[in-house]
Structure 1
Amino acid sequence: MKRLKLVMAFVMLALGISAYGQVTEAPEWKAEIRDKSFDAGDTITVKFTAKIPDKWYLYSSDFNPDLGPTVTEFQFDENPEFKVIDSVVPVGAKRKYDEIFEGEYTYFTKEAVFKQKIEIQGKDPVINAVVSYQICSDENGQCIPFTSEIPVTGIKQNSTGEKNEELEVREMQAFQNNFRSGNEQKEGVSFLISFFLVSFGAGLAAILTPCVFPMIPMTVSYFTKSGSNRKKGIFQALLYGISIIVIYTMVGTLFSVLFGAAFANFLSTHWIPNLLFFAVFVLFALSFFGLFEIRLPNSLINKMDKQSNKGGLIGIFFMAFTLVLVGFSCTGPIVGTILLQAAGGEMLKPLVGMLGFSLAFALPFTLFAIFPNWLRSLPKSGGWLNTVKVTLGFLELALALKFLSIVDQVYHWDFLSRDLFLILWIVIFSFLGLYLLGKITFPHEEKRSSISIGRMISALLVFSFVIYLIPGLLGAPLKGLAGYLPPMSSQEFNISKLTASSSISRNEKENIAECGVPKYDNLLEIPHGIHGYLDYEQALKCAKKKNKPLFIDFTGHGCVNCREMEARVWSDPKVLKRLKEDYVVVALYVDEKKELPESEWYVSPNDNWIKKTIGAQNLDFMIQKLNANAQPYYTLVDNDGSLLSAPKAYDLNVDRFVDFLDNGLKRYKSQNDQGISL
């Protein structure tokens, strides 16, 4: 079988060779050196780069040549003026398992980068390199071998030691685009599955609201009376459920298409939408408490209802539309919360969220329409539905504070500290517990003479949550809620912070003496006493001075997952030790609204918008260099700004994060051991 696969591979190679004329030209190679001045005996590093045509890739040099594809090889003329030391080292190559050759190989897309250590032994040596390699395209099945000559010029002895500043700037920003690993993609799929399940649970919760639950028997009666044909009834019920899913998923689709990454960042961090969301959530909470009722215009609902009476497929669709509109007053906050959670720059999340919600929401209507006898087992509508509604009101009130907290953090208003936030939550959930115990009643309710088992158990859970919150007032991290609470730095009273202040002060002085005071340290911070930087260029210079790799944390004030990663992963001693000792850490906030001096503004080639703020420039840097815009996003680079490993996104597995840090450090040390100039 393996022989057959190898034959197929060579056939593909032959086809590629025969189609040689269809490829424009061989990739363009360049040889660059940072220092063009030297003394005899010095060692220089030559950087070879090749531009790769779109939709093609170039095989690297660091995989088993017996695997099948042509390994990139460099050969140098024998010359007493110089000596080649060790083998050429690829920088930032991707890895992939090939099913045809049954093995793992490395490759480059867009740009290939190799570095070679060379010892200068004579005066003004002329170095010529010949590189043999192969480029392939999966779209047309072509693989084409090439051989290119690359002269290394401009080396002179006893010069003033000036450096090629243009090259240095280019190397500082030499991130490779679209550097993604299969492991990272799996993590993304896993996260979407989790988000789908959460949205599915929200859909089930929406069914229990008083706006939706009474609609189940009404809907089922429509299908049972519409005809005696059992098959037709099942078909109509399935179509009804599919229509509900389509309507909600269309909302997610429109949200994705109309509102891209820039709008998602605006939506999740700007004061206008967040204060609006705060007001809307408070408004819904008051409505759930019975102060007033929120309803869509009757004219709109009546129009949809008339369309549903027409019958046929269109009638069933509009009947589903009517259900969505009638249930809006209860499902609106839940749907809005899902879409806001998805507002992190990822196009798939709103679709996945709405699909999960609508699937759970449509399921009971469809099943009860197919099996109408199940209706007898349903509890009758009554006071329990009002209890669900009031409980949702308390939850809406608690969630409203999150939007107010985001505004407070992003704009540094400093009025909603962590302590005050926790106090408000303790009060809100205490009132919820008292309500469930019947100690508090609303004007539209009757006072209860007894408490059901369900309400008693719910009250116990709520008061347990309140007790869990109380230690947070003394500085307990409350890791389970890290994403929703203000940062620990806003805590006015923190016992652990007070006891650690002296040692932190000494470490900070040592760090400042070596690399200078971090820019923006009066506005931004890095958690857990990590003394890092908040500006990429400053951090890169410090990494060069300390001879350490750079850990880049793309984060944000309003990033729930970022806070959760910091509380549950970064706080682990194994991770914290590596971040403090092995790396220079830089936190790039993508939602910081601090406006920079006009001299630092620029127009982004990505969207042609002027980038004026710290956050806008950090987000633009992330999109341009990594083709990513979701946070958190962790990136490891060497002193040239070249990636050491595939970036890592949200992942609460501590061991995987430790491996991520260790692998990056190992690759960095490997480059140093081989004499690669960083």
Structure 2
Amino acid sequence: MKNLIVALVLFLSGISTAQQGVIDPVTWESNITKISDTEYDVILTGSIDEEWHVFSQFTSEDGSLPSVLSFEQSEGNYELLGTAKESETVKAYNDIFEVEETYFLKKVEFTQRIKVLNQDLKQLTINLEYQVCKEVCINKEEQFVINLDGSKATLDNVVLDEKSKTLSNSLLLDLKHKERLLSDSEELTSDGNLWKIFVLGFLGGLVALLTPCVFPMIPLTVSFFTKQSGNKAKGIRNAILYGAFIVIIYVALSIPFHFLDSVDPEILNTISTNIWLNVIFFVIFIFFAFSFFGYYELTLPNSWSNKMDSASSTGGLIGIFFMAVTLALVSFSCTGPILGSLLAGSLTSDGGAFQLTAGMTGFGVALALPFALFALFPNLLKSLPKSGGWLTTVKVLLGFVELALAFKFLSNADLVAHWGLLKREVFIGIWMLIFLLMALYFFGVIRFPHDGKKKFSFPKVSFAVLVVAFVIYLGTGLTKNSHLKLLAGFPPPTFYSLYEQESDCPLGLDCFKDFDEGIAFAKANNKPILLDFTGWACVNCRKMEENVWSDPKVYQILKDEYVLISLYIDDRKELPKEAQFRMKLNENHLKDIETIGDKWSTFQYLNFQTASQPFYVTMTSDLEILNEAKQYSGVDEYYEWLAKSLETKGN
């Protein structure tokens, strides 16, 4: 238990270290030893910083992540002889996972013997995925390129075939007046979105306070601090410390995503638009919803709560910290689904992991605020409503919201994969059914397992009437090309419809989904280009199309004056085999360009050094930049930006 306490305290104290950039605790080298004319030993050696450790390939599957070696392009070129051998490891019991783990200290070495089948083979490419831990755990990926003759190989001299070289070069543009992109750089790095995410996280925390898992603990915990601390001043101090620890705990949950963001700027966007991850979120949110409905209780292992509860009796700062950890664990059945929504909604490249940190901070502040506030003003406790059936009602309400959000994730997967399952009208119909059931619940027509006898009240009936009005509003979205401006971005786009559409572009505009085709058309017609980096699962992209592009003056200028090129960075449709290639992004990163989304996301990052959507660029067919890049904005601002770009072209 002592080790567990020390580890958790160090975890929080190590957050600042992690944020300062200490994300390479292992230094790697690669070597190859010739055993015979056809057999070689490939050796990967890592020097591990003090107090860090790397997990073995063979560590328990129920614990931390094992190391995984993968050898590229081995088929027909070489074969692996057995599994990779390892240097000396140590074993230790992990109290959290309750398993014995196997890992390396100070030095890690993997040795894989191979047999060469193709005598023309000159190089090997090996990928290593591993987890390295101290106070924090970092998931890392390394790529090694090894020459069979033993000479030094780096990605600087990786031999790409001619097709890869040609197609790689085709993604790089010779942009003219590129400095114009930066003239509004303050806008592009604005913290406005972070504040919005913070507010949303804060609202989520307020909702969590009104659940049966958290609300009854407020007066109990505040009373404990004010009565058990010896004097009022100490009680207030301890309650404020308790609140501060709650915030720290939730902020700490976002820290690992900063390491992911630093490894690959596109990785968070890749995660958020991954087809199967969105399907998993769909299943999880359905699971959360039925937990809120009372069919089962969603809890973390009792052993975790028991250990934290025991630790909280230590006293002093450590005891208060573990009281906060205990709150986080025992309230998980109510906060988990809300945090899941926050996690899934924040993981985009627009703002990176900082969006998640902002949301988690807001959530933690909202949870912590009542404990500090009521400790300062204990008389306010008398004004708190008593716990009762209304808490159950709030929980059921959240269940319906989780159910609706679940279908948003399924819709993301459907759009990205082009399955055609949840066309716009089908999605809206499902939402109408969900919210109609919610209204029937508040009218007392349907009940759930933990409901008592239904009592009608004016607030419940009023809320049910509002929900029915919302269902009617949703119904207006079932007509052809209708816009639900209040929900812009949530339903699929209007062109993803059961109705026959004249165009598969937003608002029926003419558009190109290939850059070269769009350039050729713009050159032939002497028109400027609006380059639209968008995504099938991009909510803000849909908001721009349905709320800004739909404005008559914006729509007209787009239709008459511009050639629209819409590039979908999350499109998982595979490119033809002849169009797939490998690209060297930098000296440490080779990327396989296999899908349409791979191609356009890489194209965006290489030429505009960003991975966020929506992202708009105005340019000529001769690749002259006309104006600063634009992201999410209002109607008037966007129209003026388009008009100014036309003036620049005219000059």
TM-score normalized by the length of structure 1: 0.67
User: CA-to-partner distance for each residue in 1:534-575, whole Å, 9 max, x for gaps?
Assistant: 111221222222112110110001001100110000001111
Equivalent residue, structure 1, for 2:636: 655
SS in 2 for 1:648: coil
Counterpart for residue 449 of structure 2: 443
Report the Cα offset of residue 187 of structure 1. Answer: 7.7
The change in CA–CA distance for 1:580 and 1:178 in structure 2 (over 3 A counts) is closer
Contact 2:197 2:359 in 1 (8 A): yes
Instruction: From the superposition, tell whether residues 372 and 252 of structure 1 become closer, same or farther in structure 2 (CA, over 3 Å).
Output: same
Distance 2:179 2:243 in 1: 42
Structure 1 residue 200: deviation in Å? Answer: 1.4
Pick the aligned partner of 2:534 from 548, 551, 555: 555
* 2-structure distance, mates of 1:488, 1:612: 28
Match of 2:598 among 584, 601, 616: 616
Q: Does the alignment pair 1:313 with 2:292?
A: no
Which residue of 2 is the match for residue 465 of structure 1? 470
Aligned 1:276-315 pairs, distance under 5 A:
276-315=280-319
* Residue from 171, 178, 181 that aligns with 1:179: 181
Aligned partner (choices 325, 330, 336) of residue 332 of structure 1: 336
Name the SS of the counterpart of 2:253 in structure 1. helix
Contact 1:604 1:611 survives alignment (8 Å): no
Whether contact under 8 Å (2:582, 2:592) holds in the other structure is yes
Q: 1:528 to 1:184 in 2, by over 3 A?
A: farther
2:228 paired residue number: 226
Unpaired runs of 5+ residues, structure 2, are 1-168
Task: Detail structure 1 runs of 4+ shifted over 6 Å in the superposition.
Answer: 167-170
Q: Which residue in the other structure is 1:631 paired with?
A: 613
Q: What aligned pairs does 1:80-479 form with structure 2 within 5 A after superposition? A: 172-173=174-175, 176=178, 179-182=181-184, 184-185=186-187, 188-259=190-261, 260-345=264-349, 346-347=351-352, 348-448=354-454, 450-475=455-480, 476-479=482-485
Q: Runs of 5+ in structure 1 lacking a partner?
A: 1-166, 505-524, 671-678
Q: Would the aligned equivalents of 1:175 and 1:625 in 2 still touch at CA under 8 Å?
A: no
Q: CA deviation at 1:196?
A: 1.9
1:594 aligned residue: 573
CA RMSD in angstroms comes to 2.2
What do residues 620-653 of structure 1 show as CA deviations (whole Å, max 9, x unaligned)? 11111111111111111122223211111112x1
The letter of the residue matching 1:613 is T
8 Å Cα contact 1:172/1:640 also seen in 2: no
Q: Deviations over 1:258-295 (max 9, x none)?
A: 35543322322222211110110000111111111110
- Alpha-carbon distance in 2 for matches of 1:182, 1:490: 34
Q: Is the 8 A contact 2:529 2:565 kept in 1?
A: yes
Number of residue-to-residue matches in the alignment: 476
Per-residue CA deviations over 1:202-234 (Å, capped at 9, x if unaligned) read 111111011111111221122012223222222
Q: For residue 632 of structure 2, what is the amino acid of its counterpart?
A: Y
How far apart in 2 are the matches of 1:491 and 1:585?
A: 21
Paired with 1:549 and 1:263, the residues of 2 have a C-alpha distance of 32
User: Shift of the alpha carbon at 1:308?
Assistant: 1.1
How far has the Cα of 1:192 moved from its partner?
2.4
Q: Per the alignment, in what secondary structure is the counterpart of residue 228 of structure 1?
A: coil
Letter aligned with residue 565 of structure 2: V
Report if the CA contact (8 A) 1:244-1:358 is conserved: yes
Report if aligned partners of 1:175, 1:626 keep a CA contact under 8 Å in 2. Answer: no
Corresponding residue SS for 1:636? strand
Question: Would the alpha carbon gap of residues 625 and 427 (structure 1) be closer, same or farther in structure 2, given more than 3 Å must change?
Answer: same
- CA deviation profile, 1:320-369 (whole Å, cap 9, x unmatched): 11111111111111112112221111222111111112111211121112
Cα offset, 1:172, TM superposition: 4.6
Task: Name the stretch that deviates more: 456-465 or 584-593.
Answer: 456-465
The answer to whether the Cα contact below 8 Å between 2:494 and 2:507 also exists between their aligned partners in 1 is: no
Would the alpha carbon gap of residues 371 and 470 (structure 1) be closer, same or farther in structure 2, given more than 3 Å must change?
same
Decide which structure has the larger Cα Rg and report it.
Answer: 1
Matches of 2:494 and 2:323 in 1, distance apart?
50
Q: In 1, distance between residues paired with 2:172 and 2:372?
A: 59
SS in structure 2 of the partner of residue 477 of structure 1: coil
| Paired residues of 2:209 and 2:367 also in contact (CA < 8 A) | yes
**Secondary structure, counterpart of 1:488 in structure 2:** coil
Letter in 1 for 2:216: P
Matches for 1:509-548 after TM superposition, within 5 Å: 525-548=504-527
Aligned with 1:575 (options 554, 566, 569): 554
Equivalent in the alignment of 1:603 = 583
| 2: CA distance, partners of 1:173 / 1:424 | 46
Query: 2 CA distance for matches of 1:402 and 1:211?
Result: 27
- Percent of counterpart pairs with the same letter? 45
Read off the aligned partner of 1:179 and give its amino acid letter: L
Q: Which residue of 2 aligns with 1:68?
A: none
1:528 counterpart SS class: helix
CA distance in 2, matches of 1:208, 1:637: 51
| Cα deviation digits, residues 556-598 of structure 1 (max 9, x gap) | 0100110011000000111111111111110010001111133
Do the aligned partners of residues 550 and 452 (structure 1) sit closer, same or farther apart at CA in structure 2, a change above 3 Å counting? Answer: same
Q: Distance in 2 between matches of 1:566 and 1:419?
A: 18
